[in-house]
Amino acid sequence: MTITITNSTIDFLKKLSKNNDREWFNKHKNLYLAAHENVLAFVDALLSEMRKHDLIETRTAKESLFRIYRDVRFSKDKSPYKAYWAGHFKRATKKLRGGYYFQIGPGETMAAGGFFNPDPKDLLRIRKDIDMNFSDW
């Protein structure tokens, strides 16, 4: 069974983008909860597929998914909610550091992989792998 992000989940994000305030959000909490459940199911399915190809330490979608509430303390944009879903998967073991990030939203869906701040040995290993497996990259 394939699990997808439903149109109602994307519609919720579009409405949230136009009505990004607490009053609207509280009135439409049922839409948020339905969208949240859809995204959790999708991320659990994605996590299952990712584990077929990589050792992922992240156990569940709930552990992976970031909160929809924005931290507005240091931001010029004071809208209280993100108009997208986002999360990450952490790779397992010290040797497989790095991870994956995903973002799902109307007009801004993306997936990325990365390795933040590699030390010199890691950077050399990454560069050698790119050089040796150029066609795969």
pLDDT of residue 111: 92
Count of structural domains within the chain:
1
Q: In what order do the strands lie in the sheet with 99-104?
A: 85-90, 99-104, 110-114
- In this predicted structure, what is the pLDDT of residue 1? 57
Given this model, what pLDDT does residue 36 score? 97
Domain assignment of residue 137, yes or no: no
- What does the alpha-carbon distance between residue 104 and residue 102 come to, in Å, rounded to a whole number? 7
Q: Decide if 117 is inside a domain.
A: yes
For residue 1, tell me if it sits in a domain: no
Range of the domain at 110: 7-132
The residue ranges of the chain whose pLDDT is under 50 are none
